[in-house]
Structure 1
Amino acid sequence: MASTPKPTPTPTQDDFLLESFLALETPEGFKAELIEGDIVVTPPPDGDHEDAIDMIVRQVHRHAETEMQASGNKGLILPRGGLCPKNRAIPDATFAPRGLRLFRGAEPWMPCEGVAMVAEVTSRKPLGDRAAKRHCYARGGIPLYLLVDREQGRVTLLSEPSGDDYARTVSVAFGKPVPLPEPFGFELDTADLV
């Protein structure tokens, strides 16, 4: 008796979306992300954006209780949410304990396990950082999400991921310190943002 061949699975709309996203060729300096079913292409950031990221990275390297690695272009694969099979985000800064060597040998898109904190500085579309990415990072179980909201003049630290969101929020005006819990264990000085 001949065996019946198994049918080839029919690609879904999600499959086509992910395939199209991964095939994108963006202009140099631009980044493309797949966030909640939308392909978001972002132009190179302005100098104030980069200055804010530099301020965060320098303080983490100087003051964190645990030595940290930092990446400004690490693509993260985040769990399904909304309409998308997998979200793919590139945080402005991604931090992981140096002892994990999380970035060594990692593919351009890596799972988010082991990431201690991501940081975003708002640009042209701040709602994406305030809502969509917040939910993606929470679903990924990333312990800390630091958001520098230039439009609102505030720095917000979200912690204790639970389902689609973070259970704890601390928000301060530019110029006030933000307490970063372990493994960072120091107060982030935001005076340079004023």
Structure 2
Amino acid sequence: MTAIADRPHLLSEQFEAVARSLAREAEELRPELIHGKLGVKPVPDGDHGRIIQWLTRICIQAGPELWVHDQGLRVETYRTGHARPDGVLAPADVFVGHGEWADAGPALMVVEVTSYDSDSDSDSDSDSDTDRRDRVEKPRAYAETGIPVYALIDRDSCEVIVHSVPDGVRYERSDRIPFGKAVELPAPVGIRLDTEPLMGWVR
């Protein structure tokens, strides 16, 4: 996620207008608004997409009524934030009839997969931004919203970080599991992940 402006008082309506404008200009831009800061997510690479496929197959095998959606969510306490997680685990039909941005209430889990800079394998600005957005700001925003589970698939540290038990401010529990070991996603998800395949989808 690359920050493009610090607008601490950007309103929800203003953001949605900007997001529509960006979508018309370039389909690959995926804007977000987290804690008043406007940014765009980088275009996913092939391994990133494969990880989402892997997760989707496991989830629908565990619960055929579930799906990993590509859905924008209104987040944070007063719903002024707008996040587009890499995946939103929720019942398959729950977002039917919603627009680009939906209430996060039906989400059982949100998933983020860390991205690589498109021009180089190591970019300090990109790395620090990923650290701030995926590892600091988004856990707080998702916890404020009450999303039960936030799973970060961190391709830099080769870990899955599972945040759970939101208290309205932060997640009370965070478990770090290295790639190659099993991950037990807590209730209401209740799915076990064998993370061995993730080791083949990192640089």
Which TM-score applies when normalising by structure 1?
0.82
Q: Which residue of 1 aligns with 2:152?
A: 147
Name the CA distance, whole Å, in 2 between partners of 1:188 and 1:19. 35
1:19/1:106 CA distance change after superposition, 3 Å? closer
Contact 2:33–2:82, Cα closer than 8 Å, also in 1: yes
Find the aligned partners of 1:116 and 1:37 in 2 and give their Cα distance: 24
Which one of the candidate residues 126, 129, 137 is aligned to 2:130? Answer: 126
User: What are the superposed Cα offsets for residues 56-83 of structure 1, whole Å, 9 maximum, x if unpaired?
Assistant: 111111124x7312212x11011247xx
Q: Tell me which of 160, 181, 184 is aligned to 2:165.
A: 160
Q: Which runs of structure 1 show a deviation greater than 4 angstroms over 4 or more consecutive aligned residues?
A: none
Query: Judging changes above 3 Å, is the alpha-carbon distance between structure 1 residues 61 and 13 closer, same or farther for their aligned structure 2 residues?
Result: closer
Name 1:6's counterpart in structure 2.
none
In the alignment, which residue of structure 2 is the partner of 1:67?
Answer: 65
Structure number with greater Rg is: 1
CA drift at 1:190: 0.6
> How far off is 1:153 after superposition?
0.7
Letter of the aligned partner of 2:66 in structure 1? M
**1:76 has 2:73 as partner:** yes
How many angstroms apart in 1 are the aligned matches of 2:16 and 2:97?
23
- For residues 69 and 98 of structure 2, what CA distance do their matches in structure 1 show? 12
Indicate the larger mover: 175-184 or 139-148. 175-184
Residue 5 of structure 2: aligned partner:
none
Q: Paired residue for 1:14?
A: 10
Aligned-residue RMSD, C-alpha: 2.2
Identity level (%): 35
Aligned partners of 2:189, 2:69: CA distance in 1, in Å? 16
Q: Are residues 1:177 and 2:182 paired?
A: yes
In structure 1, the residue matched to 2:91 is 97
Q: CA deviation at 1:108?
A: 1.0
Letter of the 1:79 counterpart: E
Instruction: Point out the more displaced range, 21-30 or 123-132.
Output: 21-30
Distance 1:46 1:109, change over 3 A: same
Gaps of 5+ in 2: 1-7, 117-128
- What is residue 30 of structure 2 aligned with on the other side? 31
| Distance in 1 between residues matched to 2:16 and 2:166, nearest whole Å | 29
Stretches of structure 1 lacking an aligned partner (at least 5 in a row): 1-11
Asked if the contact 1:21–1:39 (Cα under 8 Å) also holds between the matched residues in 2, the reply is no
Query: Does the 8 A contact of 1:95 with 1:117 survive in 2?
Result: yes
